[in-house]
Structure formats: C-alpha cells, structure tokens
Amino acid sequence: MAGTAVPRGLTSRPLVWRVARLAAERWETPTARTLTFDVPNWPGHLPGQHVDVRLTAPDGYSTQRSYSLARPDRVELTVERLDDGEVSPYLVDILAVGDEIELRGPVGGWFVWRPTGRRPVLLLAGGSGIVPLMAMIRARREESSGTPFRLLYSVRSPADVYYKDELGHPEPGLDVTCLFTRETPEGWPRPPGRLTASDLSRRAGLADSDPDCFVCGPTGFVEAAANLLVAHGQDPQRIKTERFGPTGG
Amino acid sequence: MTMGIQGDGGDRHMDGNVLAGPLGELFSVDVTAATGTCAQCGRNGPVAGLPVYANAPGMVARCPGCDNVLMRLVRSPDSAWLDFGGFTALRIPVPGR
C-alpha cells in the first residue's frame, strides 16, 4: 500500500502559512462557491492534494479546516456551505474578491493521481467529494493524457451537481455517470438511490480495466463504496480513499 | 483544530489525510503516505487511510482493524506532543536515489 513521496519541488518545507488573496469566485450550486486565490510563490501541487485554511478573528481566535484543491494549475477551492459550520459560511457567503485568508500546503501525498500514470482510473465521488477528483480530471485534460477515466458521481439532485458545464461535455476517454440519490431529471432511467453493486457492474468498467480507484465523499459513502469495490474483487491496495464529515452526498 | 477534508465536519471520524498539514509542520517527509504496522494486531495500512478523531483536544488515529490508538498529536502554542506508540513500524516512501 505504499504511496510515493511527492517529488521535491511540489512540497514547501518547512510548511508555512501563506497569505492568499481571493482573485475570482463563481457559484457552482446555490450552496457551493468556487474560490480562486493568488498565492505568491506557490510551489505547485498534484491533483488530489489539499490545503489547510486558517481564519483568525479580530480577537485572536483562530480556527482551521482542510480543503481539497479543485484544479491542478491554480490554487482553487470549491466550498460547500454547512449552515452550522464555523468556517464554510464565511468562505461561501462573505469572503470577497481582494480579501485575504491564510493557507498552508500543498499537503497530502497519498490521495494523488500522477499524470504519468498509465493505468485506467475509476473515480467515485459522493457530493462535494467531487472536488479533488475534478482536479484529477482537469490534470488529465491539461496533460492530454490518454489514460481512460471513469467517474461515478453520487449526488442528491441535478441542482447539486458541481462543474456542470465541464462534466456535461466530457472529453474523449472520460466517462461520466451521475447517480442521483434523491431527485432525478425527468425521464431519467435510474430511480433515485445510493450507489449499488449494480451501478458498479454496469458503469465502472471493473471487469475489463482493473483500474486505480479514488473514492472521496462523506464517511458513509466512502466506506460503502470501498466495500462494494472490494466485494467486486478489486484489490484493496489499489483503492485510495478520502473521507470527510457527515454531510454531503 | 482541524476537521475533515472539505472543511467543516461533524463529530464522526475523518481520515489520516487530514494529518498531512499538522505532521507537515514537523517532518520533512509526508508521513501520511507511509505504511504503518499496528503494534496490537499487526495490520498494515497507509496512515492516510486511518480513522482520525479530531474532536478531542488533539487528533487521534486508530487502527481500523482493532481500534488500538496508533498515534496522538496535540499542539500547544509553543510545542507539539506526538505519540506514535501504537505502531511497531512505519514504512516511509522516500524519493529514489
């Protein structure tokens, strides 16, 4: 299960907090906003890596969270607002272009895809777990990689889909399947529901490709998806997972 | 205090990926990419894949096989307390030479 150390030049040691200025923003859904930051002397990163974000209040109270990087060529995050959250409502609703926050990274050398990889890739996303997987999809495009990619994206309803334009028009070699859990578009052939073994059989291409698997989403989604993959005969050592809190998917 | 990747989390566990920043502050290699061996049950697995509980004063990583506490990290304003006592070994990938 060994990962590989991130190549020199893609880590910044010692890891320091840097000032990041919001340069651009756009809404992905009514509850999620993509934030693009300018970070002087950013060392670059690999798709799948994340940053820690730190906010400090005027009274000195400080708190931090981790967010995956959404694209390979910029420091860009997509943040979902959790109404009882301490950080995400600020990042989604209040932070304005020109405002500054602190972040450190890139960090995380395990849940990464290297564009030099030749093995087919299966991406399983639950809700906002799409973010680091989108960085991998974008890196594949940027590198003109011919590596076959399949994405199964489990999401509550069509209105909750991130990156609609890009995922709606996938480039050759990228196969995108949305699995709606609550509400589907009209006439959608699959009834709403969570990821099943049958979805994997029909859409994941496991039988003919033996892919590297990346699974990201809420803890419950990740555990269910990883168990389904193993039950399907997938080698656990080729399944990489990233979990987050109880909401999402 | 750090919650899961993708920001604000709840009270359920995160995973070892979130240790990359806090450990990156201390070590020059990425410890989350290491494979650890549990001292209690002998299970092997990537540090990044371990369940991590961050709702304690620090962060606690447990063995997914036997629930043994593998690692604890507590950060104070001027020091970091790190207990790796639940591992017998860590296999840390390093760049080839």
Instruction: Please give the average pLDDT of every successive group of 10 residues along chain B, which has 97 residues.
Output: 53 83 91 96 95 86 95 92 95 82
Q: Are strands B79-83 and B69-76 parallel, antiparallel or unpaired?
A: antiparallel
Element (H, E) at A63: strand A62-68
Tokens of A193: 């529901």
Tell me the ipTM for this assembly: 0.85
Check B9 against A132: CB less than 8 A apart: no
CA distances from B14 to A146, A242, B26, B51 (A): 33, 8, 21, 6
Determine the length of chain A. 249
Tokens of B59: 């962060």
pLDDT tens digit sequence for A216-243: 999 899 999 999 999 999 999 999 999 9
Greatest CA separation found in chain B?
43
pTM of the predicted model, to two decimals? Answer: 0.91
Residue A41 CB burial class (10 angstroms; 0-12, 13-18, ≥19)? exposed
Of the residues B1, B2, B5, the best mutation for testing chain A's interface (the one with the most A CB atoms within 10 Å of its CB) is B5
Q: Which residues of A5-26 are buried (b: 16+ CB within 10 A; e: fewer)?
A: bbeeeebbeebebbebebeebe
Q: Nearest Cβ partner of A5 from B6, B20, B33?
A: B33
pLDDT tens digit sequence for A10-53: 555 678 899 999 999 999 999 999 999 999 999 999 999 999 99
Q: What is the pLDDT of residue A217?
A: 95
Q: What is the pLDDT of residue B4?
A: 59
Phi, psi of A198 (to 5 degrees): -65, -35
Give me the residues of chain A with pLDDT under 50, please.
1-9, 246-249
Chain B hits for A15, Cβ within 8 Å: 21, 24-25
Chain B hits for A82, Cβ within 8 Å: 7-8
